[in-house]
């Protein structure tokens, strides 16, 4: 019987998503921050499944790499892989190596661009990923194939394996998210790789359904983070808004002739600083459950600098549009809180 190992890449073989890591490596922190800030509205919509994953991904890819020469892009991909082998999970690399020694064929099935996935592996490991479109030796910024995610993974695998009878294949699959669900269901043996690297059996060749009745898919880590962020966010927002209203009242008496936008900006700055310390402790220990360190502290601070500037801009805009100082904060919070979730999550989960 022909043995096939199917494995997702991001989060399964690696400890984190490689798209942001690749963008950071190739474009630098400043350009990356600008790009993610520009596309933050659609990224927020994507997180809440209100905007197609592939379309958001293509917008980002086009902004960062559209028009780049293919040769240069491939060189960047090769260099990125050679300098970031630490992203690979050692236990998963060892598992695949042992499977190869036992005669299994390894196929990496990933939604990531195959140009930067392939250099991480030997040539006898096949890569099935999202492919980029080129014209005249340059990247168009569009994808040549459908985003290799969800049902598309199974379609691509079937196409690769050809007409060989399914009963002649023993397929083992590894994944970490809902994007791998169809691939895991297609396999004879399926394993879920948890964020901490633990591997859970969810299917074997004797059973056609997940061993725990599908409950494993209910343990959606991102969903849990969103819920916890909501709790922390509401609390931090209430603290900030309460201090803002108090400061606004005091400043109006101390500085009666000051313009509304200046009073609001000053009061919001005071409120933001008061809620900042609470936000950091709650975000690290509760929302994202990570250990605080200098790198995360710096990233958290940077994300809040960006968020503060956004808040200041929106607050002044809404006051300019005629809202009162007291009510202008409400639409500002509605816009800035989801953006802050993405920024904080990115920096604290790195």
The region of weakest confidence among 38-42, 137-141, 292-296 is 292-296
Same domain (yes/no): 175, 239:
no
Domain that holds residue 240: 221-348
CA distances from 145 to 51, 111, 132, 201, 297 (A): 19, 11, 7, 31, 39
* Structural domain count of the chain: 2
pLDDT for position 283? 63
Q: What is the pLDDT of residue 205?
A: 65
**Dist. CA 271–CA 276, nearest whole Å:** 9
Taking only the tens place, the pLDDT of each residue in 28-57 is 999 998 998 888 888 877 877 778 889 999
In the listed set 218, 233, 266, which residue is the last one of a domain according to the structure?
218
Residue 202, SS3?
strand
Residue 215 has pLDDT above 60, yes or no: no
Q: What pLDDT, on the 0 to 100 scale, is given for residue 43?
A: 82
Among 177, 199, 218, where does a domain finish? 218
**Segment 258-284 mean pLDDT:** 84
- Are 87 and 16 in contact, with CB atoms under 8 Å apart? yes
Q: Which residues contact 69 (CB under 8 A, 6 or more apart)?
A: 137, 138, 139
Residue 264: which pLDDT band, with cuts at 50, 70 and 90?
very high
pLDDT at residue number 40 = 85
Q: Position of tokens 């060749």?
A: 205
- Name the DSSP class of 154: H
Lowest mean pLDDT among 17-31, 101-115, 210-224: 210-224
* CATH (domain of 77): 3.40.50.1000
Identify the domain boundary among 202, 218, 234.
Answer: 218
Same domain, 97 and 239: no
pLDDT score, position 37 = 85
- Convert the pLDDT of each residue in 58-81 to its tens digit: 999 999 999 999 999 999 999 999
Q: List, for residues 148-164, the tens digit of each pLDDT value.
A: 999 999 999 999 999 88
Q: Give the CA diameter of the chain.
A: 84
């Amino acid at each position: 019987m022909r043995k096939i190992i199917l494995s997702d890449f991001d989060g399964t073989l690696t400890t984190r998503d490689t798209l942001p890591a690749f963008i950071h490596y190739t474009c630098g922190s400043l350009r990356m921050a600008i790009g993610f800030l520009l596309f933050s509205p659609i990224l927020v919509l994507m997180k809440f499944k209100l905007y197609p994953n592939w379309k958001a991904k293509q917008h980002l890819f086009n902004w960062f790499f559209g028009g780049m020469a293919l040769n240069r892009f491939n060189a960047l991909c090769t260099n990125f892989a050679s300098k970031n082998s630490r992203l690979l999970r050692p236990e998963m690399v060892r598992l695949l190596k042992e499977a190869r020694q036992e005669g299994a064929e390894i196929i990496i099935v990933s939604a990531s661009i195959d140009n930067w996935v392939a250099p991480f592996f030997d040539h006898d490991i096949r890569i099935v990923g999202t492919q980029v479109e080129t014209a005249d030796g340059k990247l168009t910024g569009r994808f040549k194939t459908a985003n290799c995610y969800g049902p598309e993974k199974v379609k691509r695998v079937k196409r690769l394996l050809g007409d060989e009878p399914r009963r002649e294949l023993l397929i083992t699959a590894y994944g970490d998210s809902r994007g791998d669900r169809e691939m895991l269901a297609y396999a004879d043996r399926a394993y879920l790789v948890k964020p901490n690297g633990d591997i859970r059996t969810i299917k074997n060749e004797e059973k056609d359904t997940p061993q725990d009745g599908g409950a494993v898919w209910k343990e959606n880590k991102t969903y849990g983070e969103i819920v916890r962020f909501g709790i922390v966010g509401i609390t931090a927002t209430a603290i900030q808004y309460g201090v803002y209203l108090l400061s606004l009242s005091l400043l109006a008496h101390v500085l009666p002739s000051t313009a509304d936008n200046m009073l609001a900006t000053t009061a919001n700055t005071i409120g933001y600083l008061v809620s900042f310390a609470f936000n950091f402790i709650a975000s690290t220990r509760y929302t994202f459950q990570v250990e605080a360190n200098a790198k995360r502290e710096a990233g958290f601070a940077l994300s809040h600098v960006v968020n503060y500037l956004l808040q200041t801009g929106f607050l002044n805009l809404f006051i300019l549009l005629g809202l009162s100082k007291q009510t202008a904060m409400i639409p500002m919070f509605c816009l800035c809180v989801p953006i802050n979730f993405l920024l904080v999550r990115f920096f604290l989960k790195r």
